[in-house]
Amino acid sequence: MKNNTEKLIKKLLMELGENPNREGLKDTPKRVAKMYADLTKGYNTSRKETVNNAIFQESIDDMIILRDIELYSLCEHHMLPFFGKCHIGYIANNKIIGVSKLARIVDRFAKRLQVQERLTQEIAKEIQEVLKPQGVGVVIEAQHLCMMMRGVEKQNSVMVTSSVLGLFRSDIATREEFLTIVNKHK
């Protein structure tokens, strides 16, 4: 696949009116192919690899929150980056997950062509299926280069999406506690 991607990038450079053989562009197809392989590696990562047996039995039924997980993704409409922060909360149901695995779950779904709305839901559903907690809340705040660099060119716009499951959806006090903690740092 990498070789095909390199050929496509070389052809794209020619379509743009560039000379892919000039010094500054000679290795560009290889670099761009490598970049796309990295930015889309979420397609080739399984749940098992991501979680890697890091679920632990604990007598805990409290809310656990991990804030400010950096994320980088590619908008599926223009293949331009969007980036921001993901905040995850869950109410344990006698099981917890290794904290780094939450960030790995975010990366697993962010490293694909995405829309932020679906990304938020995929992360919440994955945590729900893996941990079976009493509830899950996910909030993503992101800036989209497709909004900033082209089209409407709005430099300071931030898109916020949320997905709430279980107690985060059915109990307003639980949802408010989560959102208060997530927003406290602002």
Structural domain contains residue 47: no
Q: Is residue 185 predicted with pLDDT exceeding 90?
A: no
Q: Which domain holds residue 33?
A: 2-39
Q: Which residues are marked as active site? A: 75-78, 116, 144, 146
Task: Look up the pTM and report it.
Answer: 0.94
Same domain? 28 vs 88: no
Same domain, 12 and 95: no
Do 58 and 143 share a domain, yes or no?
yes
85 and 165: one domain? yes
Tens-digit pLDDT profile for residues 31-44: 999 999 999 999 99
Do 32 and 103 belong together in one domain?
no
CATH number at residue 65: 3.30.1130.10
pLDDT computed for residue 3 by the predictor: 84
Number of separate domains in the chain: 2
Q: Is it the case that residue 63 has pLDDT exceeding 70? A: yes
Is residue 34 domain-shared with residue 83, that is, in the same domain? no
Percent of the chain at pLDDT above 90? Answer: 96
In a domain, 146, yes or no: yes
Distances from the Cα of 67 to the Cα of 72, 76, 88, 107, 180, angstroms: 15, 25, 6, 14, 12
Mean pLDDT for all residues in the chain: 96
Do 126 and 99 lie in one domain? The reply is yes
Residue 144 resides in a domain: yes
- Are both 65 and 148 inside the same structural domain? yes
What's residue 186's pLDDT? Answer: 66
Report pLDDT digits (tens) over 101-149.
999 999 999 999 999 999 999 999 999 999 999 999 999 999 999 999 9
- Are 79 and 147 in a shared domain? yes
What is d(CA 7, CA 30) in angstroms, rounded to the nearest whole number?
9
**Which residue is it, tokens 């893996």?**
130
Give the pLDDT of residue 114: 98
**Residue 155 and residue 72 share a domain:** yes
Q: Is the residue at 163 inside a domain?
A: yes
Calculated CA dihedral for residues 169, 174, 175, 177, nearest 10 degrees: -170
